[in-house]
Chains A and B, each alone.
Chain A
């Protein structure tokens, strides 16, 4: 195809075709970077796949990696993908030729990968670095596979709470509620003051899980909650119906038509002071500017049943795993270990506003008042949960629960029908 055709000067169309053919040949020649060459055995290189893609997270990761590169003399090739695409392609990615170190979520979603042999046992890292002493037992459990061995090194967490702007509370003389009655009273006052009590945006689906989780944790307690998500309890029982009933009661205080509003838009209405409060993860801080962040405060989701209390915190923990067959195992294990160290965690959490350290010896004196408050909540918690989509089978969470919760928000009245439908699908997916 490369030879020049003899004869008269070519026509425009043919020149174009030849150009296209040439371009195709050129495009095909080098191949996608990194796929053609086997880098196995290169001791000076380790690769890492990351879903921490917003600017602060990129900066924090880069800082932490630079530190390790300087210490070890090994170069890290970082491959950052936006977190939604990362989640959607994780299965294929891990089955193909994944990077040596992979960022991911602790809990059910990591355990599932461990069970399938897609990631490597990290026991050696934990022992070498003495991680058993610096993470709580609960964090270790969340980072362990079904065989009880650790498969992940945790670095940070981004807990959930009810956030508000201190200036708005001071202006109206509101106080943090600690019980359901106080909470509803506060919502009513806010409504009378022309505020939207609770900012709400669930177009993406998953933010609705936060409301369900918190109500279930406050009404039925963490043991029932985790059992329910593990498939041990029926979804059409009185406990779950009570959760939807309480939700229905709170719904009028939520921002109207939440199904068309993205969570970012809801966060914006809190920033602007149109909404008084928002139940959200600490990742909410990304929409606040640095100055506004000083105005941000929070309280634990209030108590709904005095027997159950309000001392369970949703603390989704993020960490790093070793892929199934790392190309540079020694360096990869050292890098994963580094990411769990106190130094790395302090560097990372200082830059990424949504991240709080999981290391028990982390220096809390430098934390902002908001972060310190949340760390106190965690320290005093009876139990830590992850978030619905990290505490249950991923297929159940996304395929069954998101449409179900959206249906509830659309038609909050037919709870019986809804819970029966969830139960039927749960039985099919869990097989029990």
Chain B
């Protein structure tokens, strides 16, 4: 055993290596694929064993004991014994011989097991005799350590016990199998048997010329095969089985063999009643797939008589719609209708349904997906096979720019049904179900090879297509019409095609296909993703503030957030739920990033309620989901470059009834929203333009003092390196400024709202600000809280804030005005490539490091100061600065500009502003101005502060005046 297991380990190891180039598939998956077992049938145990199948109908066994193999000389019944490997899954016993992997393949559903006995055999050997429902027996002689064999048996026992209820339903399932019917009828002489449901062909005639005698002969062969080797759920496949399939299946038996080979039978057995249930559960429902199916029902094998009747159409409708509900990721793809129509000629509805499932999932995965990645991939794989196996032809095709896929794509996608006459396509289908997708490649290569001489004369696509078309039209003709020997004359082109396909291209194997698929998968997926992105971006709604780059970034972050959606495979919903939306915004917006609860306990609540408001506002169709279009339209509004639009939009988020007025509750919510949005600046994670300017000015001031005389020449102002900045000081100042703005906002909102409602309304708490200058940050926070509570706790007077007042209040506050004009936008990272975004955290930590990386403004400031000082007095003494060292280390290419970069957008404005106002501003820090305002709040409302407003955005003054009137 250990020898075998090392061998096996080696084998799996080699498999692993060969698969490591692409997506690896596990041993279990490979196993299930090989035997077409349903999901869940993982290998529980496997062992080496000698197995023989002893049919109850084998007349030899009844009397004679002449055919005896060495190992079983003392047994009652005899049969061929095969050495190989036995696998056990929850519902199956699978055996494959190790001689040539073809001689014996036994697939046994354990529902068919009636009895398991220890076989009376030599003491050293351990054997089981399994008796099936039919009376046939499977004898298993374990090879290996006894305790392992015992373990195997224990597991089998357990599986059998668990399967008991299912086993009881066996007979009803068997009644759907034609093989069972003919055995019962002919061997057991059972009467009042009903033949199982058949395909449409049974009543509408099978395609092609049917030779009744030949059919009967073929059917007889199958009957004999089943007698000796079992049937349907318990069958041993010998080389004869493959041979019988190759010569072409008898029409009546075709359905069951397709059912069996495709694994649909196992799936159907494991999911009894599911098909009907899907149909029933979705009755009357409408979807895009349903609409598409309806369009094509009458366009599926329209020349076949059944599809000119309601019965045929209805079956087709049922199977296609059921599949679209079962697998909404695929839904419906044109070509499925044709494949399905062909299946239904031979299979019952339920059989066809499960067969379609396995075609889509196992045989040609991804062919019918929303992006058709499987189709594109296999075209690439096919081309590479042509290049490798038919190099001359390939060179010619390339040289003449002939589009191979124009002919080959429909072959694969519709499994030849749209290219080859139906009766021949059916034959290819026989082989396809038995051998897998490689049959398609083999036939396709054979078509090219047989027609190579003609194709080498073709100049363009048109001629190429004509050659192939003509060939398919004449498949029934003789290959050698002039041959003297009738045997040669009888060989049709179709027979030649099959022989060429399976003899000459037998080198095309499942593993070579897998290998090629893995080789091109990445490219194909990448191309699809690029294509999908291009298409989606092209179809986005019109935007006003987002650039193409922005949209591209938003697209990327959007799909990175929706993890369940695979762009290249087109699976999963591409819409966002609220949870995903939160993730998305977290990646995109600084203020949506989660923070430590302790620093700001209210934050998480504010965050989720604000995001919820945004989500609902953007969810235009009210589906409780956002599409990429919703997100883009929403962000476009949020990122408006127009100050007033920005303020209006924020207001409208809270104006639920859209009447242009906010109720008290809404005002409170709005203030919470403002708190949330300004959090990054309040906490000092980001710094805004005002702080930056302050910092620059301060630095400039110091440099000016320090270096007054050293600065002689233009452009040669040296910026301080490693300048020590008291980060905390600036952070605190900024933080206070934001807090103050928040409390001012609330106070003003309610004051102003109040004056509208009740003229004599007075403040409930004292808001005098005599001690403002000394007030600590904590005190400010407290004050804000009390203000809020105050307003909230005053239910006696209805307060209403209208848009005009809201705008005025915002514009009256420099911090908030700047916030809507610019600051907010700078915290939504639509510009950045998300990949580069990962460094952001690091960059933020050293936010002050880069403050003067773009030293242009500082330099200007320094020069201005130097100039002005120089004119006033030239007698200042100059001290060599201790804290200014020419050290580069901390000033490397800063990310800071990314966050708050307005050197480009507003450089001119600022310079202008500096020229006019620099002295006044520098000498009177604006915080002081705020405090003054604080003392005269009523004035503020009646006459908005013009000074700070005009300083920052002078052109806004008109708007302010408008509000006054």
- A in complex with B: no
Q: Residues of A with Cβ closer than 8 Å to B?
A: none
